[in-house]
A and B are shown apart, each in its own frame.
Chain A
C-alpha cells in the first residue's frame, strides 16, 4: 500500500466530513468554471472580428451603441440616416460595398430583432472569410414581405419555410404591425447575432404601415442633415414637395402616392472599402469624423474599449471572487483536518509503531489534504462544465453568446496545480502535528 492509498482510506473512514469539505472546494471550482466559460464566450463574441466589413456608418452618437446595435443587435439604434446618404456612400470611389440596415422592430414570438436589408448582405462575408450558408430555401429576399431567418430563430420559434409571422413595432407591446411575413430561407448557424435575427427585404421594411414618418418631420431631419450641402438639400426638398402634392392627389383622387428616396431612411450602413488600399477606410472614417452628419466606426475598436474598460475588469473581479471562495474552502479543509488530528493521534502512533517514519505520517496527512483539494476540484470542474452544458441553450437564447461548455480556458489549466499547492499549504500544519506526535504518549491514550 502506498501513502496515497492510505490517505484515501483515511478519507473514506471520515467520508461525510471529507465529502462536505471536498464539496466546499468543488462549489468554488464550479463557480470559477462557470465564470470562465461565460467570460470565454463573452470574450470570443466581443474580441473576434465580429463582422466582415471595414466600417459601420451611422448617425452621430455613441460608437459603441452603433456597433452593439448594428452588429450584435443588443442595443436600440441611435437614429436614422437618410437613404440618400446611402446612395452617396455607394457612389464613393473608395467604397466597394455599402449594405443598408434598417432595424428597431422585433418579432412578436421570441422578441428577435428585425433587420431590413438587401440580398447583398447575404452575398458578403458575415465574418472575414466566412460565407453565409442556407440550411433551407434560397438565398435572396427580393420580394416584399419575404424573410430570411437565423438558425436560432427557426429552432426556438419552430419556424420553417413558408411559416408566416407578424412583427412588433419597436418592441412595444400592443403595437403589432398588420403585415404578415413569410419565411423563404433559413440560415445555417453562424455563431453570430445573425442566428438570432430575422431579415426582411428593405423595401418591405419601408412598406410596413406606420414605418413612414410624417413629411414635415423628414424635412426637418433633412434640413439638419444637409445643412452644409445646399444642392442635396434642394434636391431632397424638391422630392418632398412633389410627394406632398402626390399625397394631396391620393386623398382627392385615390391615386396612390409613391414615396420618394428622400422619405426613406436607413439605420446603419455596412461598408467595405477597397482591399488594395487599406487607407480608404481610415480616410473615409476621418472625413466623416470632421462633419456633423454621420460617423464611420471601426467595428472592433469600441468593443475592445468595452472589453478593456468594463467587461475585462468585471471578469477579473469575478475570477478573483471565485478564487477567494476557493481559498476560504481551503481554510475549511485546514480546519477539518486540523480538528481531526487530536482524534487521530493514536492512529498516527500505531502507524509509527508499525515502522512508519515521521516523514510517512507527514506525507499521508499532506496527501489527504491534496486529495481533498484536487478531488473536490475535479468534482467541481466536471459539475461546472456539466452545468454549462445544461445551461448553454438557455444562455444562448437569453444572451446570444455562443457558449462552448467544454472549452477549457488557460486559467483552468492552472487550477489543478494551484489547488494541489493549496492542499499542501493547508495540510502543512496538520501534517506537522502528525510529524511531531509523541508515539509513546499517544499509544498510552
Chain B
C-alpha cells in the first residue's frame, strides 16, 4: 500500500477555547499506483486531510502510513525529509516560487530531499509536460496552464510514491483542465505513483476509476470522543 490512514482524528482549537472537530476517519487505503478522487464540499476538511497525509499537519491521533512508515510518529525534521522524498504535492494555486525559473522550481523540489540534485531528470520532467522550451522562464512569464504543468513536474522531481493533488484544475481555464488532469494521471501512471486528488468538482472526479466522497467516511464527531490533544 502507498497510503493507509488509521483512526485519524483532527480538531482545531477555537478562539473561544473549545475545539472544532474536522476529521474523523477510521480507515482509508490507497494501493501502489492507484488513482483516486476524493470529493468533498468546501470547508469539508479536504485540505486538512492532505496536510495530514503530507505531514504538514499532525493529527490529534491516528496513524498515517506512507510507503510502510507511520509519519505521525516521526520527528518533524525526519517527516520533512520524508515528505520531500516520498510525497509530491500539486496545489490549487500552483505555488511556484516567483524568484526561480521553471527549471529552478523543479530543482528546488529536489534540494530538500537529501539526495543529489538531478538536473537532467528535472529537464526531462519539464520536457514531458511540454515545457522544454520554457525552462528558463520565471512563473510570471508563464501562462496559468504552463504554471500548473511546472507544478506537476516539480511534484514528481523526487520520484515520490504518492502524489497529492489539491483541486489542481480549479484555477485553470476549462480548455486546460482535462489537459492538466490527463497530464497528472498519465505521468503518475508512467512513474507508478499513487494519486490522491481532492476536489469539489464532480466533473474532474469522474475521470477517475475510484471516486470517494469524503463526507461518507469522514465522521468529525468521532473527535469529541477520541481526541487526544
Contact = CB atoms under 8 A, between A and B. Distances in A.
Interface stretch (A36-44, A352-360, A412-420): A352-360
Q: In the complex, which range does the number of interface residues on chain A fall in?
A: 20 to 34
A1 B109 CA distance: 10
Interface of B: 47-48, 51, 54, 56-57, 76-77, 80-81, 83-85, 89, 91, 95, 97-100, 104, 107-109, 111-113, 117, 154, 158
Contacts of B104: 1, 9
Nearest to A439: B56
A355 B113 CA distance: 7
B112 A355 contact: yes
A350 interface: yes
A444 B57 CA distance: 13
Contact of B56 (A1, A353, A357, A358): A353
Contacts of A161: none
A352 B80 contact: yes
A355 B85 contact: yes
A307 B30 CA distance: 81
B80 A346 contact: no
A445 to B, nearest CB: 10
A172 B137 CA distance: 72
A346 B96 CA distance: 10
A351 B109 CA distance: 8
B107 A351 contact: no
A253 interface: no
Contacts of B97: 347, 350-351
A9 B100 contact: yes
A2 B76 CA distance: 21
Given A1-B107, A352-B80, A360 B99 contact: no
Contacts of B57: 440
Contacts of A9: 99-100, 104
Contacts of B56: 352-353, 439-440, 443
Interface of A: 1-2, 6, 9-10, 12-13, 346-347, 350-360, 439-440, 443-444
B77 A13 contact: no
Contacts of A352: 56, 80
Contacts, number: 73
5 contacts: A1-B107, A350-B97, A351-B108, A354-B84, A355-B81
Contact of A357 (B47, B80, B85, B98): B80
Contacts of B98: 13
A29 to B, nearest CB: 26
B116 to A, nearest CB: 12
Given A350-B91, A355-B83, A360-B112, 5 more contacts: A6-B108, A10-B99, A354-B154, A355-B80, A443-B95
B80 A356 contact: yes
B99 A351 contact: no
A438 B119 CA distance: 30
Contacts of A355: 80-81, 83-85, 109, 112-113, 158
Contacts of B95: 346, 350, 353, 443
A10 B104 CA distance: 12
Contacts of A357: 76-77, 80-81, 112
Contacts of A439: 51, 56
A444 B77 contact: no
A9 B85 CA distance: 24
A1 B111 contact: yes
A45 B104 CA distance: 55
Q: Which of B48, B83, B99, B107 gathers most chain A CB within 10 Å?
A: B99
Nearest to B155: A354
Contacts of B83: 353, 355
A346 B84 CA distance: 18
A359 B54 CA distance: 19
B70 to A, nearest CB: 18
B102 to A, nearest CB: 13
